[in-house]
Amino acid sequence: MTLHELLQQNIPNPPKYESGIKFLDDALDGGFEMGQLVTITGDAEAGKTMLLNQILGGVAQGHKCLYFSLEFNKRQLQKNFAQRVKQGSVKLEATKNIETVTTDMTDGELFAITEQIRKSVADGVKFIGIDSSMMVYINEKSGETEITEIFRILQKITVENDVLLFIITQGSKEDNKEGNINIFGSQKAKHFANMMLHLTFDREEDKRHLIIAKNKQNGRYLKQRIYFNPKLLAFTPYEVEIEDIEDAPQESKGSRGKKKDLFRDIL
């Protein structure tokens, strides 16, 4: 096929999943497109699992999902989502659309995971979440070769089945400290990601930011300050007080006194 022939084709826009998180959905022009591998990286205890669970709860309101909760067993996962349902951050009806595989149901071998994905896709699942890559392995492989192959295979599955796959992964302490967004154990693995979401957490100042660090969907990069609500187990709108500075240059002055600014893009 020539490029000219391709340009003559009427290719429909891919469907999108709304995460229910306004900040992300707005930045992505309505949600996440199909056929993408999305990584969630970040500092320790920044809330990577909580972010994935929040996205999962939003997507499940209208779509079938498959969730590999490889960091938690059935009891722990039940406790986590029971609190979300009780507080109303996840609708009980939506949980019927989430098929779960916990750490006491599988040992994380990649072949078993891909077989489960293919089976679930045949049953109508289009959204897959994996928590986390540290629990996934390939027999007879190790080191950087193993990590790179895991991400290569998962990216191939997203394209072949036109699904959206989120996977939580880790960066090294050195990378996180320097602000470098990488996948621990492999220099090549991040190249298979279509999108990379990154969470930062400054414990001393108790500040969190969510960064869209890689975005092949629409090329938009964004950094948003967020607040984690421990009661809801969810990220919520962050409010900040802004004060005008009396001796500021005229062009930078706004109205006098204090004003409250709610971040337009909300997580």
Cis before 252 (ω within 30): no
Distances (CA, A) of 68 to 44, 51, 56, 174, 232: 20, 15, 11, 28, 22
Tell me the one-letter amino acid at 135: M
- Looking at the domain assignment, is residue 226 inside a domain? yes
- Looking at the domain assignment, is residue 53 inside a domain? yes
139-172: per-residue pLDDT in tens? 999 999 999 999 999 999 999 999 999 999 988 8
Host domain of residue 61: 15-239
Rounded Cα gap, residues 111 and 114, in angstroms: 5
- Looking at the domain assignment, is residue 253 inside a domain? no
Rounded average pLDDT over 182-194: 94
Rounded average pLDDT over 241-249: 38
The neighbour count for residue 223, using CB atoms within 10 Å, is 11
- Looking at the domain assignment, is residue 42 inside a domain? yes
Residue 43 has pLDDT above 60, yes or no: yes
Rounded Cα gap, residues 171 and 71, in angstroms: 17
- Looking at the domain assignment, is residue 153 inside a domain? yes
Both tokens of 162, joined, read 């036109």
Bridge partners of 227, per DSSP, are 236
Q: What number of CA atoms fall less than 13 Å from residue 217's CA on the CB side?
A: 31
Our count of domains for the chain comes to: 1
**Distance in angstroms between the alpha carbons of the first and the last residue of the chain:** 43
Which has the closest alpha carbon to 201: 18, 72, 50?
Answer: 50
Bridge partners of 67, per DSSP, are 100, 129
Residue 253 has pLDDT above 50, yes or no: no
Burial class (CB in 10 A: 0-12, 13-18, 19+), 243: exposed
pLDDT band with cut points at 50, 70 and 90 for residue 256: very low
- Looking at the domain assignment, is residue 265 inside a domain? no
Claim: this prediction has a pTM higher than 0.75: yes
CATH number at residue 228: 3.40.50.300
- Looking at the domain assignment, is residue 235 inside a domain? yes
pLDDT band with cut points at 50, 70 and 90 for residue 239: low
pLDDT band with cut points at 50, 70 and 90 for residue 119: very high
Burial class (CB in 10 A: 0-12, 13-18, 19+), 249: exposed
- Looking at the domain assignment, is residue 6 inside a domain? no
- What pLDDT is recorded for position 125? 97
- What pLDDT is recorded for position 237? 64
Rounded average pLDDT over 107-112: 96
